[in-house]
Chains A and B, each alone.
Chain A
Amino acid sequence: MSAAATITAHEAPPQSGPRALFRRLKHGDELAHLITLTFAAAILLLTSMLVYELWVNSHLSRTKFGWIFFWTRVWDPNFDNFGAAPFIYGTLVTSAVALLIAVPLGLASAIFLSELAPRKISDTISFLIDLLAAVPSVIYGLLGIFIVVPLMRNTLGPFLIHSFGNIPYLGALFRPPNYGVGFLTAGIVLAIMVVPYIISVSREVLLTVPREQREAALALGATRWESTWKVVLPWARAGIMGSIFLALARALGETMAVTMVIGNSARISPSLFSPGDTIASTIANQFTEATGDLYLSALIELGLVLFLITFILNGMARILIVVTERGGGRPA
C-alpha cells in the first residue's frame, strides 16, 4: 500500500508554494493519497523506532556478551551472566506445539464451516469463535491452571509417558518427571488461544473461493471432498498460510497465559513435560524488579531477539507463500 502511495506522490507534477499545495489538495484523490501515505509512513516509523529503542537500550548487554548471548544457557542476575538460549528454545518449542495442535484443528473446523455446514449454523458458530478471539489471555491462563494442568499431571501426562516414553528417540520427548506445568501444557493452552484466529480467517478466505471453481470440479466428476481438497484449498492457500502465521505471531508473543502454566524455569530439556520459560514471559516476570543496568539491558536484548525471531519467521512465511503460489493453485 505504501509503495503505491509513494509512486503516485512522485508522479504528481512538481509545483511549489502553499497555493499550489492547496490547489493539489482540493482534489480528493490527492488528499487521500497524502493521508494514506502519512499513515503508511507512520507504521514504518513506529516499527523502526521500536527497533531503534531496543537496539540502543540493549547496548550494554550486546557489547558485553556479543553473539554468545544467543547460545549461553545461563540466566543469572546475581552474577551478571546472561544468555538467551533457554528462552529462545522455550519460545520456539511452545509455539511449535501450539501450531501442531491448532493447525489441523483450526483448518478442519474452517473447512466444515465454509464447505459443509448450512450457512446459518456456520454464521452462528463463527460469531462465537470471533468472541473467543477477544477473550483476555489471563482467562486462558486460568483455564490452563484449573483444567489443563491437573489433566496433564493426572491423566494425559502419565498416559503419554506410558505410551511413548519407551520408543527410541521419540521417547525423549515424553520423560518424567511430570509436574503438570511445562512446555506441553503451555503449548496446549497456546493452541486453544490461537485456534480461533486460524478458524476465523481461514473460513473467510475459503468463502471467497468462487462458486464456479467448486462447480467446475464437481462437473468433472470430483466428489465433494475431492473438490474441497484439490480445488478449494489450493485456491485459498495464501490466505490460510496468512491465518497460520497470524496465529504463530500471537503464540510467539503471548505472555500471561504462558507464564501461568510453563513453570518458569530457565532450563533446556528435551522432555515436553519439563518446566521451561519463554522470552515474553521472562521479560514480563523480571522487568519490574530488574535493578542492575546490565540486567535491564539483557532483558531489553531479549526483546530484540524476540523481534528478530518474529522477523525471520515472517520472512520465511513470505517465501513459503511465493514458492507454493508458483507450484500451482490460484492463477496469478
Chain B
Amino acid sequence: MRKTLFLVSLLLSLAAVAWTQSGGTVLLNAAGATFPYPIYSKWFDVYHQKHSNIQINYQSIGSGGGIRQLLAGTVDFGASDGPMSDEQLGQAKFKILHFPTVLGAVVPTYNIAGVSGELNFTQKALAGIFLGTIKKWNDPEIASANSGAKLPAEDIVVIHRSDGSGTSYIWTDFLAKISGDWKSKVGNAATSVNWPVGLGGKGNEGVSGLVKQTPNSIGYIELIYAVQNNIAYGKVQNAAGKFVKADLAGVTAAAAASAKTLPEDFRVSITNAPGPNVYPISSFTWLLIPAQIQDSSKRDAIKGFLAWMLTDGQNYNEGLTYARLPKEVIEKETKAISLIQ
C-alpha cells in the first residue's frame, strides 16, 4: 500500500515537472511597491491568460524591499513608488531603467466637529498644519479659503503614516516643494520622515481609522483608498492657485503637464505641476528593469509585457481607480523599451 502511494506520488511529481517545462515557460520574479499591487496583479494575470507560457510572480513587499532585492539580483525586476536615488543607482552592478506604469494621488482627509462640506486647503495651510505652526482649525490661513465653513477653535490633530510608505513619499515630496521651512526642517521626499507633530497610523486603513475616531484630526491617504471606501476628502490648491478636488482626470493632467520636461530616464516628480486642472499631489509609480538581461526568453517576455502594459494594459486602470498615463508619456516609454538588451 505504502509502496503504491510512493510510486503514484513520484509519477505525479514527474508529470508536474514535465508539464511545467514543456511549453518553454518563462517564470519572472518581481517584487516591490504595494500601492500599485492591485493593478499589477490584474495585469500579470491577464497577460498570463493571453500568453500562457509567461508567468510573472509579484511580491508586494514595499518599494524599499523591491529596490534591495533588485540590487541583490534576487528578482528579475523591481517596482517602486519613488524613483531610485543617484546613490542607489550608483550601488547597482548593472544599469537600471525606470518605466512609469500608472499614476496615483494622495488626498487630505479630515474629521472636524460641525464641518461636513469639502474644505479648501491652501498650500501654505497644509505645510503649516503638518509642520505644527498652524495649530487651530480657525487659523486665518485655513479660514480665509473656507468662508462658508464653521471652523472650531480646536487644536488640530495631525495623523501621518507610521510605516514607511510611497504615500508618505508623495505627500512629503509635495510639502518639500511648496515650503522652504519643510525642506530645511524635515527634508526632502522620503518614505519615513521625522514628523514634527502628530500620531502615526499603519497603512491607509490605519490613518483613515484614526482620523475617523479622533475629533478635529487631519490625515492623508491614497486617492484610490478614499474612493473605494467612500471617504470624503478636501480640495488642494495647485500651482495655478486653483482649488482642485482629486480625480483621475486631474492626476493624468498632472502627468501630461510634466510630459514636456520629462527626463530621458523618467525619474521625475510631478507634484505641484503647472496647469489649471492639475491635481498637485500626484505621482508616477515605476517598474525598475535592468537594461541588460542575459536570458533572451526573459528579455523578450519583459519587453513584450511592457509594450502590452503601455497599450491594452492601460484600459484596466480606471476599473481599479488608477489614473492612466498620458499619451506623451506612453510614446516616450514605448521608445525606451528598445533600451533593454
Chain A residues packing against B (C-beta within 8 Å): 74-79, 145, 149-150, 153, 177, 179-181, 259-260, 263-266, 275, 277, 281, 285-291, 295
Contact = CB atoms under 8 A, between A and B. Distances in A.
Contacts of B188: 78
Nearest to B62: A288
Contacts of B206: 260
The 9 lowest CB-CB distance pairs between A and B, nearest first, are A289-B164, A264-B200, A264-B162, A78-B187, A288-B62, A76-B194, A289-B64, A289-B191, A263-B199
B194 A285 contact: no
Nearest to A81: B194
Contact of B191 (A149, A259, A291): A291
Contacts of A79: 187, 194
Interface residues of chain B: helix, strand, loop or mixed (majority): loop
Nearest to B200: A264
A77 B201 contact: no
Nearest to A150: B213
Most chain A CB within a 10 A radius of its CB, from B166, B206, B210: B210
B214 A77 contact: no
Contacts of B210: 181
Contact of A78 (B62, B186, B201): B186
Contacts of A179: 157, 199, 214
Nearest to A259: B202
A129 to B, nearest CB: 29
A285 B199 contact: no
Given A76-B193, A78-B190, A289 B63 contact: yes
Contact of B213 (A149, A277, A288, A289): A149
A288 B199 contact: no
B199 A275 contact: yes
23 contacts: A77-B164, A78-B187, A78-B190, A78-B194, A79-B187, A180-B213, A260-B206, A263-B200, A264-B162, A264-B202, A265-B195, A265-B200, A275-B199, A275-B200, A277-B162, A281-B162, A285-B162, A285-B200, A288-B64, A289-B62, A289-B164, A289-B165, A291-B191
B81 to A, nearest CB: 9
Interface in B8-27: none
A283 to B, nearest CB: 11
Interface string B49-67: 0000000000001111101
Contacts of B155: 177
B192 interface: yes
Interface in B64-92: 64-65, 67-68, 85, 88
Interface string B180-211: 00000011101111110011111000100110
Given A259-B202, A264-B162, A288-B64, A77 B195 contact: no
Given A259-B202, A263-B199, A286-B163, A291 B194 contact: no
Given A288-B62, A289-B164, A290-B164, A260 B190 contact: no
A277 B199 CA distance: 10
A287 B191 CA distance: 11
Interface residues of B, number: 35
B164 A265 contact: no
A74 B85 CA distance: 24
A145 B61 contact: no
Most chain A CB within a 10 A radius of its CB, from B67, B157, B163, B198: B163
A74 B187 CA distance: 14
A289 B88 CA distance: 14
B217 to A, nearest CB: 9
B176 to A, nearest CB: 10
Given A265-B195, A291-B67, A291-B85, 13 more contacts: A145-B209, A149-B213, A177-B155, A179-B214, A264-B199, A264-B201, A275-B200, A277-B162, A286-B163, A288-B64, A288-B163, A289-B64, A291-B63
Interface in B194-236: 194-195, 198-202, 206, 209-210, 213-214
Nearest to B67: A291
A176 to B, nearest CB: 10
B194 A74 contact: yes
Contacts of A290: 64, 164, 192
Most chain B CB within a 10 A radius of its CB, from A77, A79, A288: A288
B65 A288 contact: yes
A68 to B, nearest CB: 17
Contacts of A150: 213
B202 A260 contact: yes
A180 B211 CA distance: 12
Given A286-B163, A288-B164, A289-B63, A75 B199 contact: no
A166 to B, nearest CB: 21
B132 to A, nearest CB: 12
Contacts of A74: 194
A216 B107 CA distance: 72
A235 B213 CA distance: 48
B265 to A, nearest CB: 18
A259 B162 CA distance: 8
Contacts of B164: 77, 285-290
A286 B202 contact: no
Nearest to B65: A288
B164 to A, nearest CB: 3
A295 B244 CA distance: 36
A290 to B, nearest CB: 5
A18 B67 CA distance: 51
B202 A291 contact: no
B143 to A, nearest CB: 22
A76 B187 CA distance: 9
Interface string B141-184: 00000000000000101000011111000000000000000000
Contacts of B186: 78
B205 to A, nearest CB: 10
Nearest to B190: A78
Contact of B194 (A153, A259, A260, A266): A266
Contacts of A77: 164, 190-194
